[in-house]
Amino acid sequence: MENIENELKEAVIGTLYLPKNHTLKYSEASEELAFREVTYDPASVDEETLNFKFLMPAIEASKNEPTDFIVGFSSDFKRIILAYKNPDDKFQAFNAHQQAAIFAEYFLTQTATDNPEAAHDLLVVKSLLLSNQIDNIVKKNEGKITYSHAGYEALQTVRAANTVPTIALDDRNTVIVDGDVTENALQLLKMVAAIVLKLRTQNLTLLDKHIAIQTRYNLYGEKTFNMASESKKLFDKYRVHPPTDLIHDELILITDYKKKVFNNLLTGRKGPTELEQMNLVQLDYTSGLRISVEYVEEQNKVILHLSNYTYCYDKSRYAESRKAVHDRLLKTVVSLGKM
């Protein structure tokens, strides 16, 4: 990586957060964009979940330096996390759902621009627990979508089975556009650079881009909760007696990946699921609420994933709309606590 010289003060500058003794040969630094590197010791960093805590050393190193955004990679280069500056000039990290939306939209719009003949063949592979906002992005940009379990290997298996241009994303910060791990990381870094530079020409930031996505493709909120008590019984309870009256919403679809069956309560249609068996049931309601209940047998715990959305057509109401969605999710989990 090139050192950041004084003459690059007007450039967009990113911090690249990498495991020590690793590098990415990004050779496209210019007067418009440059990266500085911050490294970490994988043995001393908790990288089970890529989040703000994981990025803290990079954020601390960037506090007193001109830095517009941060790109971090897990030690195996299989996962990525982006951080941006909020209106208070402090760094915040995108969660997996938010950054997946940015990558998915860029992939669909830019690939279609670069290769119009492939525009209607573009494929997005999405993990089951990733936000349904991705489905909206694919639909509005006339792409195609298919589903996978989460994790690099599961996503890559589905991605590699297709010959059309494909991006694969999950709720654990995995993003794949190339089958070679190191080359994939480099391609993702180039995508981020292209996104940031395009935004700069419009005098916009990554936060502006995120808000624009929320206003165009509906504003989604997701929350995850660990439920440790009587986990196996609780999981089976959601499968056999899914909540309806407790949350005052009409249940319209049950997808049980343990039994590998779905049941559409509106149409009466039933059938098998296409993916491999796993301890997961998903419940969809008329309001847009989705409750995903995952049982981790090795740890005897239930993980509750909640997702919902609202319409937000005016960016000036973004903060208000986001709070409304998250308040609804908190009310939902309180109601579910009575099961």
State residue 227's pLDDT score: 82
State residue 29's pLDDT score: 60
State residue 26's pLDDT score: 76
Q: Show the domains of the chain with their CATH numbers.
A: 6-93+193-201 (3.40.120), 97-177 (3.40.120.10), 220-336 (3.30.310)
Sign of CA dihedral 84, 87, 91, 93: negative
Which of 216, 176, 229, 246 shows the shortest CA–CA distance to 314? Answer: 216
Which tokens hold the place of 214?
A: 């929320």
Q: What is the mean pLDDT of the chain?
A: 92
Which tokens hold the place of 206?
A: 């990554």
pLDDT > 50? residue 67: yes
Edge-to-edge strands, sheet with 33-40: 33-40, 12-19, 69-73, 80-85, 91-93
Over range 126-142, report the average pLDDT: 96
What is the C-alpha to C-alpha distance for residues 168 and 155, in angstroms, rounded to an integer?
6
Owner of token pair 């494929």: 123
pLDDT > 50? residue 1: no
| Dihedral (Cα; 243, 246, 250, 254), 10-degree rounding | -10
